[in-house]
Amino acid sequence: MKLLSADKLERGLGLKEATALNMIDMIGIGPFIVLPIVIQEMNGPQCMIAWVLGALLAFMDGLVWSELGSAMPEAGGSYVFLKEIYGPQSWGKLFSFLLIWQTVFQAPLVIASGSIGFSQYLTFLVPLAPLEQKAVSGMLVILLVILLYRKITTVGKISLFLWIGVIATILWLIFGGVTHFNPRLAFDFPEGAFNLSFMFFVGLGSASVQTIYTYLGYYNICNLGSELREPEKNIPKSIIFSISGIAVLYLAMQLSVLGVVPWREAMNSKFIVSTFVQKIYGSDAAVVATVLILWIAFSSLFSALLGYSRIPYAAAVDGTFFKIFSKIHPKKHFPSASLLILGAIAFIFSLLFRLKEVISAILAMRILVQFIGQAVGIMILRKNKPSGFFPFKMWLYPLPALIAILMWIGLFLSTGFFFALGGVVVMSAGAVVYFVRANYKKEWPFNS
C-alpha cells in the first residue's frame, strides 16, 4: 500500500512531540467540565470507578491503534486503516468513506465543544453575556487556525511549549489536593453506594460516557503518521505513554477534588477546579487556576485540529474525497485547505451549539465505524497479513480487542436512545450518499 504523499509531508516530529500532541489533545476543558457530571451520575465518591473504566477502555483500544498505526504510518489514520482492513477495492471503500463522512461533522463538533467550554469557563474571570460567549468561541477557533498555519516542525515546538503548561497545571492541582487531603471527605460514601443494582450500572454507563470523552485523543499521532520519524516505534510508545500518564493524572485529580470539596457541593459546581483551588489557596489563586485551565483547553484544541485536518487530506489525495482537501501549502508543506475548511465549519458550529449537546453526539457518531470497526478489523487484518506486516503487536492478543469491542458497545448504548439513534441515522445517510456516488462514478459495488 503506497504512502500518501510521503514525499510532500515532512517527517519533523519525534517521540517527545508525538507524546505531547497526544496528551494535550486528551487534557482539554473536558475533564474540568465533566468532573461534577461524573459525580452526579454516580452520586458519590464511587465515581472513581468510571475513571478507571475510562482508562481501561482507552488502554485496550490504544493497543489496537498502536498495532494499526505502526503498520500503516500514513496521513489520515483511521481512513487508511479501515480502507486496508476491509479491502481497498471493496468494503474498505465504504468504511473509509463513512469515516470521512462522520469526520466532517464530528471533528468540527469536537473543536466547537472545546471552544464553547473555554468561553464558559472564562465567565469565572469575566462576566459574559450569551452572545459574548459565542463571540469568544468563534474567535478562539480563528486563533487556532492562525497558529496551525505553519510548518510541522514549528507546530511540534509549539506543542511542547503548550504541553509543559498543561502538565505543570495538573501537577499543581494534584499537589494542592495531596497537601490538603481530607480522607473523610474523599471516602464519604452514601448509603448503598456499592449496591450493584440496575440503576448502579445505568449511572456507571452514563458516567463512563463522560470519562472516556476526556481520554479521547490518545490516537491523535496516528493521523500524523507521515510526519513522524520512526513511526513503527514512536506511534506505539507515544500512545502507551500518553494513556498511562493521563490515567494517573486524572485519577489523582479526581481524588484530590473529592478530598477537598465535599462531593455534594462538587457535583453542582460550574467551575469545579476554581472552587477547589479557592478552598485551598483563596480567591486570587482561583483566578490563576482558571487562567491555567483555559491554557489547557486551548492546548487541547490546538492538537485536535492539527490531527483532524490530516484525515480529509488523506482521503482527497487517495481520490475518494473532494480534491480541494488535498492542497498542500507550497512552502510550509502542510494540508492548508483541509485545515482552513475544518476550521471554518468548527467556527460555525461554535456559534450554533451548546456544550452538553455535543459530548454524547461525538461518541455516538464515532463508536460504530471508527472504534468498533477498527477493533474488529485488527483481527481480520491479522488473518490476512503476514506476521512481518506488524512492527508492533498488542500483548495478550486478541483479548484487548475483544474487551474494547464489548466496552464500546456498552458505551454506545449508554449515550442514550436519542444519540445512539442519531449515530445510526448519520452513518446510514453516509452509506446512502456513498452508494449514490459510487453508482454515478461506477465504483464498487457498481463496477462489475
pLDDT digits (tens, 9 = 90+) for 418-429: 888 988 998 899
Percent with pLDDT over 70 in the chain = 97
Whether the ω angle into residue 445 lies within 30 degrees of 0, i.e. cis, is yes
DSSP letter for 371, please.
I
Q: Would you say residue 413 lies in a domain? A: no
User: Residues with Cβ < 8 Å from 145, sequence gap 6 or more?
Assistant: 305, 339, 340, 343
Lowest mean pLDDT among 145-159, 182-196, 199-213: 145-159
Q: Would you say residue 162 lies in a domain? A: yes
Number of structural domains (the chain) is 1
Better-scored residue on pLDDT, 103 or 152:
103
- Residue 44's CATH number: 1.20.1740.10
Q: Would you say residue 10 lies in a domain? A: no
Return the C-alpha cell found at 175: 499537589
Distance spanning both ends of the chain, measured CA to CA: 23
- Looking at every residue in the chain, the average pLDDT score rounds to 90
Dist. CA 88–CA 97, nearest whole Å: 11
> Cβ(12)–Cβ(152) under 8 Å?
yes
Q: Would you say residue 6 lies in a domain? A: no
Average pLDDT of the residues in 211-235: 92
| Residue pLDDT, tens place only, 372-400 | 999 999 999 999 999 899 999 999 999 99
Q: How high is the pLDDT of residue 8?
A: 64
Among candidate residues 162, 169, 165, 126, the one with its CA nearest the CA of residue 144: 162
Q: Would you say residue 62 lies in a domain? A: yes
Q: Would you say residue 407 lies in a domain? A: no
Query: 146 pLDDT exceeds 60?
Result: yes
Query: 2 pLDDT exceeds 80?
Result: no
User: Residues with Cβ < 8 Å from 324, sequence gap 6 or more?
Assistant: 316, 337, 341
Query: 9 pLDDT exceeds 80?
Result: no
Q: Would you say residue 60 lies in a domain? A: yes
| Residue pLDDT, tens place only, 283-307 | 999 999 899 888 888 888 888 898 8
Q: How high is the pLDDT of residue 296?
A: 83
Q: Would you say residue 236 lies in a domain? A: yes
| Residue pLDDT, tens place only, 315-329 | 888 888 888 999 998
Q: What is the identity of the amino acid at 117?
A: G
User: What is the span of the domain harbouring residue 218?
Assistant: 15-72+105-355
DSSP letter for 190, please.
P
Average pLDDT of the residues in 318-342: 89
Three-class secondary structure of residue 75 per DSSP = strand
| 395 CB burial (10 A radius; 0-12, 13-18, 19+) | exposed
User: Residues with Cβ < 8 Å from 134, sequence gap 6 or more?
Assistant: 119, 350, 351
Give me the phi and psi of 137, to 5 degrees please: -60, -50
